[in-house]
Amino acid sequence: MFGSLRALCHVSRPACGEFGLFRRTGGQLHIDIIRWLPASDGMERKDHIDLFGAVALIAFALHLAFNQVVVKVTAGGFSPVFAAGVRSAGAILVLMLWMWLRGVTFQVPRSAWLGGLASGLFFALEFLCLFIALDLGSVSRTSVIFYSMPVWLTLMAHFLLPGERLSTRKVAGLAMAMGGVALALLDRDAASGGWTADLLALASAFCWAGIALCVRITPLSEVQPAQQLMFQVAISAPILLILAPLFGPLIREIAPIHIAGLLFQIVAVASLGFLAWFWLMKIYPASSVASFSFLSPVFSVILGWLLLSEEVALSVWMALALVATGIWLINRKPR
C-alpha cells in the first residue's frame, strides 16, 4: 500500500508540455501534487526579492502571525515547553513521511553534523523561550521583540555572509520597518508580561538569527531543507520534553481547540511551514528574507483584534505604511 502511495506521489519535475494537476500513465490517473511544490534545486540563487518571493514571504509572515495566536491559545491546555516538545516530536513524523514520499535520503555528510547540531540546539532554546514568553505576556508585545530578529541577522550577515553588506539604504529600511512595528505596539498594558517575557522573546530572536546563519555559513547549507529541519526537530524534541516537567504541570485545562492548535503547529508550522522558510532562505538573500518578518507582528496585532478581541489603535495602520516603505527600501535593486 505504502509503496504504491510513494510511486503515485513521487514524480519528477514536469517535462515540456506536461501541465495540470493530473497525469495519466498506463491507463491510471495520477495526482501530481508533490511535484507542484517548489524544489530548491530547480531555482537559481537570486540577489533580490522578485514578485513571487514577495508574495510568498508576505503570505508566510501572515502564517507566522496566525501561529503566534495559536500558540497563545494552545497554552491554555498544555504547558508551553511541553507543547513545544510535542510539536517537535510530531514534526519528526511528518518530515519522515515527507522525505520518504519525496525520495529524500536521511543520510547527510559528516561535515554537516556540527552545523546541524548547533541549529538543533538553537531551535530548542528558541522555542523554549518563545513559548514561555507567549504564555507570560501578550501576543503583540512578544511578537514585536521576537521579530526584531532581522536587525541582528542583517548585522551578522554584514560580517559573515559575502554579498550581503549593510548599505545605507538597508539601514534606513530596517530602521523604518522597526520603527513602524514599535509604533504599532506603543501602548503597554498589564498583559505585557514584564521584563521576563521581554528578555525571553529577545533570546528567541537571537536563536532564530543563529539558525539562519547555521544554514548559510556551515556545510549544513549543502544539504536539503528537509534534512536541515530534521536536525532541528530531532534534537529539540527530547531536550524540550525532558525539560518540560521543570516548568509545571504538563496538562492544563485541555479542550478540543487546544489539541487542534497543537496539530496545526505540528503540520502547518514546525514541519511544512519551516520547510518553506528554509527553501526561501536558499533562494533569496538572508537579510531580505528576514526583513519580511517585520510584517508578522503587525499581522499579529490585526489577528489579535479579529480573533482575540484585542483593541487595535490607529497607530497600527500608520505602522503598516512605515513597514511597507522599509521593505521597499531594503529590497530595491541598486542602480
Mean of the per-residue pLDDT values of the chain:
79
What's the confidence (pLDDT) of residue 193?
Answer: 61
pLDDT in tens, 86-144: 999 999 999 999 999 988 888 888 999 999 999 999 999 999 999 999 998 888 778 87
What's the confidence (pLDDT) of residue 150?
Answer: 74
- Under the banding of pLDDT at 50, 70 and 90, the label for residue 315 is low
pLDDT in tens, 59-78: 998 998 999 999 999 999 99
Per the model's pLDDT, the better-predicted residue between 186 and 305 turns out to be: 305
What nine digits make up the cell of 243? 525539560
pLDDT greater than 90 at residue 297: no
Of the candidates 293, 156, 126, which has an alpha carbon nearest to the alpha carbon of residue 217?
156
What's the confidence (pLDDT) of residue 21?
Answer: 32
Q: Tell me the pTM.
A: 0.76
Mean pLDDT computed over 12-40: 38
What's the confidence (pLDDT) of residue 26?
Answer: 46
